[in-house]
């Protein structure tokens, strides 16, 4: 999959890999015509699935203060097939303007409220409607 950003000449994109059950295992980021430049800056890998096909763990690479590296190491908890918790065990600080470190998410069935804790322990609550659109943010 490739794309270009407005007013830039560089192709950007991902190459995808799948396991024997055709489940996504890696999305490898690259730039240029063959996506072979600036590799691994924004890679994503799903490291575990449960027997029902739910993602149990995922690693995401991204921009950090000191370059690029592990940004998120997310673990997912389910009740049946319903996602109930997402935890991030990555420790790299992300402090560039507008960024936050995802520490915890709690899900409920009443209007899909999520709680996200910012780096400096500022609690933000994001509310999404049942179709997945962001409705509001509260601090």
pLDDT digits (tens, 9 = 90+) for 81-119: 888 888 888 776 555 555 555 555 555 544 454 554 444
**SS in 3 state form for 113-128?**
EEEEECCCCCEEEEEE
* Cβ(114)–Cβ(137) below 8 Å: no
Q: What is the mean pLDDT of the chain?
A: 78
Q: For the segment 47-76, what is each residue's pLDDT rounded down to a tens digit?
A: 999 999 999 999 999 887 778 888 889 999
Nearest by Cα to 56 from 84, 29, 28: 84
Residue 32 CA to residue 34 CA, distance in Å, equals 6
pLDDT value at position 62? Answer: 86
**CATH fold for the domain made of 2-102:** Lipocalin (2.40.128)
> Residue 37 pLDDT > 70, yes or no?
yes
> What pTM value is reported for the model?
0.64
- DSSP strands (E only) in the chain: 2-4, 11-18, 24-31, 44-49, 55-64, 67-79, 82-88, 104-106, 113-117, 123-128, 134-138
Decide: 30 and 15 in contact? Cβ < 8 Å. Answer: yes
Domain ranges of the chain: 2-102
């Amino acid at each position: 999959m490739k794309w270009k950003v407005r007013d830039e000449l560089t192709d950007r994109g991902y190459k995808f890999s799948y396991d024997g059950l055709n489940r996504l295992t890696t999305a490898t980021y690259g730039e240029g015509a063959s996506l072979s430049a600036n590799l691994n800056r924004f890679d994503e890998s799903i490291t575990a699935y449960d027997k029902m096909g739910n993602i149990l763990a995922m690693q995401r690479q991204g921009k950090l203060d000191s370059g690029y590296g592990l940004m998120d190491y997310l673990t997912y908890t389910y009740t049946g097939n319903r996602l109930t918790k997402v935890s991030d065990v990555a420790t790299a600080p992300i402090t560039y303007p507008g960024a936050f470190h995802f520490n915890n998410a709690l899900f409920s069935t009443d209007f899909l409220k999520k709680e996200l804790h910012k780096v400096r322990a500022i609690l933000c609550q994001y509310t999404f409607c049942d179709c997945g659109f962001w409705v509001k943010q509260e601090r």
